[in-house]
Structure formats: structure tokens, C-alpha cells
Amino acid sequence: MKKLLLIGVALLITSPVLAWNDNNDDSYNNGNEESYYDREERQRETERNREYPYESNTGTRYKYDLSNPADKIMYDVDPAAQVMDSVNPMVDIDRDLGQYGGGAE
């Protein structure tokens, strides 16, 4: 009787643990589902592309395309973007190559 009771208690304790599946754990992912970390990375990349939609040939990403008059106006009133451009050496290289982005990442 005591053995049966101990087995029953052991099953009650271990069953929920064995049945539990952490959705954030990649070890349970068969490749059929996107992992939590992949989803987070994709969301960060989407946000980055939204904030810095222009990319030069050197790979520098920019908020503004200064050949577009509307972007040029927005750049002129964005002091943070102008400061970032003044300290980023890639901006000068891009401009020497004829690519005029503003607000470097």
C-alpha cells in the first residue's frame, strides 16, 4: 500500500514537469517553428529598417536620403542626425562616392 501511494505521489510530482514545454527553448524546435530569439531578431531588424531605410554601398545606414527634398528638410531640422554625421567617418566616404545620406546609424 505504501509503495502504491509513493508511486502515485511520484507520478503527480513528475507528470507536470515532464509535460511542461518552454516555448522559448530552441531545443524543442524542430525547425518548423520560428524560435523566440529568431522572432526578436527579425523584429529588431524590421525596426532598424524602418528607422534607417537607406543604405549606401559601404553598408552605412541612413535616416534620410539627402537627394530627396522632403528628406533634406527633415534632416535640416534634426540636429541629432547632423551631429551623428559629423562624427561618423563613413559619411565622408559615402559623399566622396556620390551617395548623400543623412542621419547615419
Domain boundaries, the chain: 60-105
Nearest to 90 by CA among 49, 47, 61: 61
- Between 30 and 57, residue with greater pLDDT: 57
CA distance readout (Å), 42 to 29, 61, 104: 17, 17, 21
Give, as one character, the DSSP assignment of residue 68.
S
The whole-number pLDDT of residue 51 equals 80
User: Tens digits of per-residue pLDDT, 42-58?
Assistant: 888 888 878 888 889 89
The whole-number pLDDT of residue 81 equals 95
* pLDDT of 24 strictly over 70: no
Average pLDDT over residues 13-31: 53
* pLDDT of 18 strictly over 60: no
pTM for the full predicted model: 0.59
CA distance 79 to 83: 6
